[in-house]
A and B are shown apart, each in its own frame.
Chain A
Amino acid sequence: MSGELTFVDAVNRTLAHAMREDERVIVLGEDVAEGGPYLVTAGLAEAFGRDRVRNTPISEGAVCGVAVGAAQSGLKPVVEIMFIDFVTLALDQLVNQAAKAHFMSGGQLSVPLVLRTQGGSGQRNGAQHSQSLEAWLTHVPGLKVVMPSGAADAAGLLRSAIADPNPVVFVENKSLYFRREPVPDPAEAIPIGRAHMVRSGRDITIVALSRMVGEALTAADQLASEHGIEAEVIDPRTLVPLDLATLAQSVTRTGRAVVAHEAVTAGGFGAELAAQLQAAAFDYLEAPIQRVGAPYTPVPVSPPLEDAYRPGAEEIIRAARVALEWGQHDAEPWEKGALASS
C-alpha cells in the first residue's frame, strides 16, 4: 500500500513503526511528548507512553549524552535536537563520546543512536535557527550522516538509521516538512551508503543534497526545455558513508559536474564531493567541478535578503552553464570560476 504523506508524517509513522517493532527504541527530546513544534512526534506519547517518549528539559548536552549511555547499555534511542543550530550544545557528547566509543574500546562498545534534527533557511527565523551544519558532522569519523530529500526517503532511511549499530545523525530540512509524496506502508528500509539516481542524463551530473534535489530537478527540466541539455541528478542520500562509485561513474560519463547544497559553500560538504570526484574522474572531466551553496555570511532574516541568500534552481543552472560552456569563451579561467561562486 502506498498513500501520500508529508515528510513530517513519514518520519512520525516510521518512528511509531520502529517503537512497535522493538521496545528498546525510545524517543527523547524537548517537547517530544507534545509532538514538538513541527508535530513530528505527535501521538507517540499517547501510543507508547511517556516513559518511552520522554520530554526533556532544555539540556541538549546532557540529553545527547544520556542517549549515548543508553545506547551503549542496550536501548536504541532516537534523540531529537529541535534545530540543528543547537547541536552545538550536544557536540561534545556526540563528537567525543558517541563517535569514538566503538573505536576506543577496541570494539567492545557500540552506540546504536539516532540523532534527528532539522536545518535549513527559508522561514525568516534568523541566523540562529536557519543553519545547515552537516559538514561539521561529516568531519568526525565514527558518525554516519544522512540527509533525506523527501518523505519516502526519510521513511526508508530512518528505518535503516534506527537499525544501524552506529551513531547516525539524521538531518531533516524544515522546508521539506509539509511536502507530500507517495510513501509505501510499511516503508522498505533504504540502505545507508547508496546514492539514488533521480534523473538520468548524458550532458552533466548534478549531485544535490536534501532540499537541493528538488531544485536540481527543476534546474534539469529547465536546462532540457530551454537549452536541450540533459542533466543527470543524483542524490547521495547519505554523506557518510558516501557512495562515491555511483557519483564517479556518472561524472565519467558526462564529464561535467555541479555539486549543490543549502549550506554555506566554503567548507561545505560540496568541497569534499568535488575533491573526491575530481580524484576519481580527473581524466574524464571537461571542466572544473562547480559548487553551489550559500554565500559566506550568517543567514539574514529580512525576507528579500533571505531569498537572495538561499540557493536554488537558478544558481544550479548558472553553475551548470559555466561547466557546460567551459573553454568556449575567451575569458580567463579565473573569471569563469568566479561566475559560479555566489
Chain B
Amino acid sequence: MDTEVAVALLRTMWRIRRFEERVAQLKRNLQVHGLIHLSVGGEGVAAAVCGQLRDDDAVYSGHRAHGHAIAKGAPLNTMMAELMGRETGLCRGLGGSMHLVDAEHGFMGATGVVGGNLPLALGSALTSHLTRTDQVTVVFFGDGAVQAGHFNETINLAALWRLPLIFVCENNGFAEFTSRDEHSTIERVSDVVAPYGFERTTVSGSDVPAVYEAFGEYLRAARSGSGPFLLECLTYRRRGHYEGDQQKYRDPEAEEEWRERDPIARLTESHVDDEAATAIEREAAAEIEEAVRFARDSPFPDPAITAGLVYAA
C-alpha cells in the first residue's frame, strides 16, 4: 500500500476514533442520548472499504454505523449535530445514531433492526443492474445478523441474481453479550455462504492493507457488473455493546491482545512516520471539537416539522 493511501486511511480512522470517543463522553454528560454503539478498534474496515468507493456507490449499515458514515464522507459537523438532536443534523434530528443517512455521499442508511439492511442493499444492487450503471453497493453487518432470516433469504437471492453487491461482515465474535459459538455452529461467516457459490474471503480487520486489498479486488469485479461477494473482517469491539453496557462477559486477555493489534497502531507502524501520524491525530481532534461547537451552536428542531415529513410530496 502506498504511503499516500495509508495516510488517507489513517486520517479517516482517526476521525472516526476521535469522533466516537467524544460521543462516548457526550453520552456520559447527557448531551448525546439513547442507544449508542461504538466501533472503537474496528475503524480499519470502514476506512479501507469506504475509502475506495465513489460518492455514487451505495453503502448500507446497521446499528454500529458512525464509522461507516464518516468513512463514506458524511460531514463531521452534521453527524455530530444529528447525534445531539439538532436541526442542522444529517437527518434534521429525526434519525439519530442508529438511523443515519447521507444520501449525497451514498450513505444510504443505517438501521436499528439487525439484518434489516441486507435486502435493501440487494435492492440497490438490482437498481444498478437494471439501470446499467457501474455503481456498486456495499452492506456492512455484524456476525449476529447472519442468524437472522433476512440474511439467509438475501444471500440466496443475491447468489441467484448475481448482482454487484459486496457483503462486508464485521465479525467481532459477539452479538450483544453473547459470543458467536452460542449462536452458530459455523465460526466463519465466509463459510456460511460457501454453498451458494459466491466469492468470499476472511481477513483480519486490524490489518488495514489486507482489508484494502481484498475489498479492492472485489470492487473491481463488481464495477464490471459481477457479484455478489462476501468479505469477512475479524474485528474486536473494544467498548461495550452499547455505551453503559456493564461488560460482564469481557475477557481481559483478549482485550490486551487486541489492544496490541489496534488497526490504527498497526497501520501507523507499518506505513506512516510518527510525526505525520501525530499531526493527523491532532487535526482529527480539532475537527471533532469544531463539530461539537457546531452542534452546540445549532438550535433543536421545531416539533412542527415532524408532521410534514411522514409522506414524500
Chain A residues within CB distance 8 Å of chain B: 30-31, 33-34, 37, 55, 57-62, 85-86, 89, 123-129, 295-298, 300-305, 308-309
- The proximity string for B residues 144-166 relative to A, scoring 1 for CB distances below 8 Å and 0 otherwise, is 11011100000000000000000
* B303-A128 in contact (CB<8A): no
Interface presence of B176 (CB below 8 A) = yes
Residues of chain A within 8 A of B176, CB atoms compared: 30-31, 34, 37
* B34-A298 in contact (CB<8A): no
* A300-B147 in contact (CB<8A): no
* A57-B184 in contact (CB<8A): yes
Contact A305:B307 (CB < 8 A) given known A58-B175, A61-B149, A125-B34: no
Q: Tell me the nearest residue of chain B to A34, going by C-beta.
A: B177
- Stretch of B93-101, B121-129, B206-214, B225-233 at the chain-chain interface: B93-101
Q: Contact check: which of B96, B183, B184 meets A301 at CB < 8 Å?
A: B96
Bound CA span A128–B111, Å: 8
Bound CA span A296–B309, Å: 11
Q: Contact check: which of A31, A61, A297 meets B177 at CB < 8 Å?
A: A31
Residues of chain B within 8 A of A302, CB atoms compared: 85-86, 89, 93-94, 96, 300-301
Residues of chain B within 8 A of A60, CB atoms compared: 148
Q: Tell me the nearest residue of chain A to B307, going by C-beta.
A: A297
Shortest distance between the CB of B276 and any CB in chain A (Å): 38
Q: Contact check: which of A31, A58, A296 meets B114 at CB < 8 Å?
A: A58
Q: Contact check: which of A33, A37, A126, A309 meets B112 at CB < 8 Å?
A: A126
* B310-A126 in contact (CB<8A): no
Bound CA span A308–B112, Å: 23
Known interface pairs A300-B94, A302-B89, A308-B303; 5 further A-B residue pairs with C-beta atoms within 8 A, sorted by A's residue number: A55-B178, A57-B175, A58-B145, A85-B113, A129-B112
Shortest distance between the CB of A52 and any CB in chain B (Å): 15
Residues of chain A within 8 A of B306, CB atoms compared: 295, 297, 300, 305, 309
Interface presence of B35 (CB below 8 A) = yes
B contact patch SS: loop
Shortest distance between the CB of A42 and any CB in chain B (Å): 10
Shortest distance between the CB of B171 and any CB in chain A (Å): 14
* A58-B144 in contact (CB<8A): yes
Residues of chain A within 8 A of B111, CB atoms compared: 128
Contact A309:B303 (CB < 8 A) given known A37-B176, A128-B113, A129-B35: yes
Chain B residues within CB distance 8 Å of chain A: 33-35, 85-86, 89, 93-99, 111-115, 144-145, 147-149, 175-178, 182-184, 242, 248-249, 300-301, 303, 306-307, 309-310
Q: Tell me the nearest residue of chain B to A298, going by C-beta.
A: B310
Bound CA span A30–B96, Å: 24
Q: Contact check: which of A58, A89, A304, A305 meets B94 at CB < 8 Å?
A: A305
Q: Contact check: which of A34, A86, A298, A303 meets B300 at CB < 8 Å?
A: A303
Q: Tell me the nearest residue of chain B to A307, going by C-beta.
A: B303
* A58-B115 in contact (CB<8A): yes
* A57-B34 in contact (CB<8A): no
Residues of chain B within 8 A of A298, CB atoms compared: 94, 310
Shortest distance between the CB of B135 and any CB in chain A (Å): 26
* B147-A303 in contact (CB<8A): no
Bound CA span A304–B301, Å: 8
| Leading 6 A-B pairs by shortest Cβ distance | A302-B85, A57-B147, A124-B33, A301-B96, A302-B93, A124-B34
Bound CA span A86–B114, Å: 9
Residues of chain A within 8 A of B178, CB atoms compared: 30-31, 33-34, 55
Shortest distance between the CB of B287 and any CB in chain A (Å): 23
Question: Can you offer 20 A-B residue contacts whose CB atoms are under 8 A?
Answer: A33-B178, A57-B144, A57-B175, A85-B113, A89-B149, A123-B34, A124-B33, A126-B97, A129-B112, A297-B310, A300-B94, A300-B306, A301-B34, A301-B85, A302-B93, A302-B96, A302-B300, A305-B300, A305-B303, A309-B306
Bound CA span A295–B242, Å: 29
* A305-B184 in contact (CB<8A): no
* B33-A303 in contact (CB<8A): yes
Looking at B33, B89, B309, the one whose CB has the most chain A CB atoms below 10 A away is B33
Q: Contact check: which of A31, A89, A123, A127 meets B99 at CB < 8 Å?
A: A127
Q: Contact check: which of A61, A86, A297 meets B309 at CB < 8 Å?
A: A297
Bound CA span A186–B79, Å: 50
Bound CA span A301–B112, Å: 13
Bound CA span A60–B248, Å: 25
Residues of chain A within 8 A of B96, CB atoms compared: 124-126, 301-302
Residues of chain B within 8 A of A305, CB atoms compared: 85, 93-94, 300-301, 303, 306
